[in-house]
Amino acid sequence: MAPSPESSGSPPRAVPRSDSSSNSVGSSGQRVSPAPIAFGAFAGTTFLLSWVNTGRFSAPGIETAVATAWAFGGLVQLVVGFWHLRNDELFPAVTFGSFGAFWISFALFATLYLDQIPAASRGSATALFLVPWAVFSLYMLVGAVRVNLAVFVAYVLVEATVIALIVGDATGHQSAVHVGGWLGVVLAAEVWYIAAAEVLNHQFGRQLLPLGTRRRATLPSS
180 found inside a domain = yes
16 found inside a domain = no
Q: Select from 5, 132, 54 the least CA-distant residue to 46.
A: 54
221 found inside a domain = no
Query: Is the confidence at residue 85, as pLDDT, over 80?
Result: yes
105 found inside a domain = yes
14 found inside a domain = no
57 found inside a domain = yes
Domain with 174, as residue range(s), is: 35-199
23 found inside a domain = no
DSSP letter for 73, please.
I
Q: Which residues of 69-88 are buried (b: 16+ CB within 10 A; e: fewer)?
A: bbebbbebbbbbbebbeebe
81 found inside a domain = yes
pLDDT tens digits along 22-69: 443 444 456 789 999 999 999 999 999 999 999 887 666 788 889 999
The total domain count for the chain is 1
Alpha carbon of 26 to those of 17, 30, 31, 74, 203: distances in Å? 11, 7, 10, 30, 6
